Amino acid sequence: MGKDIISWMRKNSRVFRHAGYFLSYTKKRDSMLLVGPFAASLAPFYRSIGFNGLLYSFDASSSYERSLMYTDITEVKEINGDYSIISAPLYIQGLGVRELTRFLFDCYDALEEGGLLYISFPDAIAPSLQDKTLVDSFYSEEKIYMKYYTLIDILQSSESVGFKIASIEMDDVDFHDRLISLALLKNNAEPM
């Protein structure tokens, strides 16, 4: 799976154009948690745009993604700690509703005051009552379990946890109708 992700990221690099932009929404840059294989693979990008804080990785999925990461990245077994930024691009669609709720609460608890959560996900065309379903992967030949969320689903969930919306970006993409990128701030921190 790892080589498929890297190959797909190279072909679809425009999908991640907001991944660095979100850094402008917070002054806090002491530590970043990279969640999922896409975030782990973006570690060199974050370093190249000036993130000099400590990097941690959670759920990089395979030894291939972990082997791509810099040696100064520490792998963690769960989302806890005290991070300035949590980056989870193309991660939440792999979570069921209960897992998503737990993930958002864990991220909120693990962020410093004024910290930022960056997520991106394929937008659902319509709300779905189903949990995860087996679908063709957009980045490989495999079938994977996914839950398509609407923008409203994620906005309501993140606001109920306590996040404040700093930015919403939408992109038309080849592999899905629309990709949503959100920058969410913990508590009442003002966007920069």
Q: What are the tens digits of pLDDT across the range 12-50? A: 666 666 777 777 766 767 899 989 877 777 787 788 777
The CATH number fitting domain 2-186, selected from 3.60.90.10, 3.40.50.720, 2.40.50.100, 3.40.50.150? 3.40.50.150
For 44, the token pair is 């060199």
- What one-character DSSP code corresponds to residue 175? S
Does residue 171 or residue 150 have the better pLDDT?
150
Whether residue 111 has pLDDT greater than 70 = yes
Residues 5-21 have pLDDT tens digits of: 566 666 666 666 677 77
Amino acid letter at 5?
I
pLDDT value of position 86: 94
Per-residue pLDDT, 140:
62
Do 123 and 176 form a contact (C-beta atoms < 8 A)? yes
Q: For strand 54-58 and strand 111-122, is the pairing parallel, antiparallel, or unpaired?
A: unpaired
Domain ranges of the chain: 2-186
Q: Are strands 111-122 and 178-186 parallel, antiparallel or unpaired?
A: antiparallel
Q: What are phi and psi of 69, to 5 degrees?
A: -75, 155
* Per-position b or e across 143-170, b if 16+ CB within 10 A of its CB: ebebbbbbeebbbebbeebebeebbeee
Which residue, among 10, 144, 21, 136, has the nearest Cα to 68 in the 3D structure? 10
Please report the pLDDT score of residue 178 as a whole number.
Answer: 80
